[in-house]
Amino acid sequence: MENNLGRILVIDDNEDVLFSAKMLLRKYAKEVVMEKNPKKIPFLMNNEEFDIILLDMNYSQDITSGQEGFYWLQEILKYDPSAVVIMITAFGDVEMAVRAVKEGATDFVLKPWQNEKLIATLSAAAKLRNSYKEVSQLKEVNRTLSAELNSSPDIITGTSQPMQQLFSIIDKVAKTDADVLLLGENGTGKEVIARTIHQRSSRADKVFVTVDMGAITESLFESELFGHKKGAFTDAKEDRIGRIEAANGGTLFLDEIGNLSLAMQAKLLTVLQRREVIRVGTNKPIPVNVRLICATNMPLKEMVQRNEFRQDLLYRINTVELNLPPLRNRLDDIPLFAEHFLSIYARKYKQPLKRLSDPGLAKLRRYSWPGNVRELQHVLERASIMSDNRELQADDFFFLTESEIPQTIATPANDAVKLDDLERDAVQRALDKHDGNISKAAKELGLSRGALYRRLEKYEL
């Protein structure tokens, strides 16, 4: 127990009390600071930090009422609202004890005190102070991360008409607390859009929690999202907060929501409707206040018709629906993305800033981009590493197979067939290149393993 009480400040106008406290506490505390005059409290609080403050309630001017103690308690809390203050007095007035706690004191002890009881009280106070510090640090980390995200270059910028329309909707939606459903192919930047909405909302200084619904097994669904109590099941060795509860006050981003089974959909819907979670192993509901953003590349409306997705859940999550355009429909934005990503890789790999040449850009514009912006990012990173040129030429993208995409607008039917053929060819080439290795092929295409498996099944590869 030695030194685990931290730095303790004892304020009492009785020198015998100060001496007794120091003799007792010096082997338990890192440091014990004694002060007879409470008027020095402002100076001490301005210049030093204390883990625990023992504050006498009565001084020479007012021996019995405790009014001076209450006054100095409030002064301490002005300087440090999270200060852990234990009031000490020779008069065991219950009403005074209750008032002290109500006004911000952590606890109340009588003098002359029992040594064991005082140490136990201080130990509990030290744990409370450590908890305050941890919470403060977590809040500071969250503020720092939020500021870092907000100051990051905006990679959803674009001059193409589809993106300008999207920006207009985002500006309107972000200011509200409306639930949002993001639809689009893999790699179109759904998580980036979700973070942008969060950063432009009134919850920007709160937490942004991402959950990949496609990666959560049905057996762990409730534990991951709702949390669990120690002993609720075999591996529940301690209490654990769920992802939804962790997002309380902030934004909850549920990615790949189309992958949920009907059973998991029902459980999620109940939580979203009631705005409360119940940890596994308990019956106690915990209120939650989250802004919900969901995303998927799956056709949820068609899935509703096939009874694969609950209609009431779809209504619940798509107050506002945003469709993210694929990169092939916004080729004019490639130069902006290239400038952004190349500047990132120049810093990351400590190399001179590279840029796209006109022939290099022309080649990128002729490619079909089945993996969308994510694939473009990987392509630019690879070229940035491998090329010795300050300007990236067409030959620097030797690993891309150019696809002749008509520059005129095709009919929807013909366009769909053409894009399916292009996507199938791209998947087949990636598989052949990596000898059937799914992980490497998925990374090459800018897809998740699950998304690649769905395409293998779709094209019977």
| Bridge-based pairing state of the strands 276-278 and 285-287 | antiparallel
pLDDT exceeds 80 at position 401: no
| 1 belongs to a structural domain | no
CB 452 within 8 A of CB 434: no
Minimum mean pLDDT range among 60-69, 215-224, 286-295, 424-433:
60-69
Confidence of residue 335 (pLDDT cuts 50, 70, 90): very high
Instruction: Provide the pLDDT for residue 270.
Output: 94
| 366 belongs to a structural domain | yes
Q: What is the CA radius of gyration of the chain?
A: 31
Stretch 131-139: mean pLDDT: 78
Same domain, 305 and 381: no
Is residue 408 packed enough to be buried (19+ CB in 10 Å), middle (13-18) or exposed (0-12)?
exposed
Answer with the one of 277, 295, 325 that is the final residue of a domain: 325
Tokens of 247: 């997002």
Same domain, 43 and 110: yes
Same domain, 366 and 385: yes
- Report CA-CA distances (Å) from 291 to 60, 191, 192, 278: 55, 14, 16, 19
Long-range interactions of 38-41: CB distance < 8 A, separation 24+: 38/11, 38/13, 38/68, 38/72, 41/11, 41/72, 41/75, 41/76
Q: What is the DSSP code (8-state) at residue 430?
A: H
Instruction: Provide the pLDDT for residue 59.
Output: 72
Same domain, 165 and 308: yes
pLDDT digits (tens, 9 = 90+) for 224-278: 899 888 887 877 778 888 999 989 999 999 999 999 999 999 999 999 999 999 9
Same domain, 114 and 225: no
Same domain, 194 and 285: yes
- Report CA-CA distances (Å) from 142 to 131, 195, 219: 16, 14, 31
User: What CATH number should be reported for the domain holding residue 291?
Assistant: 3.40.50.300
Same domain, 292 and 428: no
Domain that holds residue 49: 7-134
Tell me the C-alpha distance between 211 and 221, whole Å: 11
Same domain, 303 and 345: no
| 278 belongs to a structural domain | yes
Confidence of residue 412 (pLDDT cuts 50, 70, 90): very low
Q: Which amino acid is located at 22 in the chain?
A: K
Residue 29: enclosing H or E segment and its boundaries? none
CB 244 within 8 A of CB 252: yes
Same domain, 303 and 362: no
Instruction: Provide the pLDDT for residue 148.
Output: 52
Tell me the C-alpha distance between 377 and 360, whole Å: 15
- Provide the mean pLDDT of the chain: 84
Domain count for the chain: 3
Same domain, 292 and 371: no
DSSP readout, 207-274?
-EEEEEGGG--GGGHHHHHHEE-TTSSTT--S-EE-HHHHTTTSEEEEETGGG--HHHHHHHHHHHHH
| 2 belongs to a structural domain | no
User: What CATH number should be reported for the domain holding residue 115?
Assistant: 3.40.50.2300
Answer with the one of 293, 325, 357 that is the final residue of a domain: 325
Same domain, 253 and 338: no
pLDDT digits (tens, 9 = 90+) for 12-58: 888 888 998 899 998 889 899 999 999 999 999 888 889 999 998 87
| 118 belongs to a structural domain | yes
Tokens of 373: 């912006």
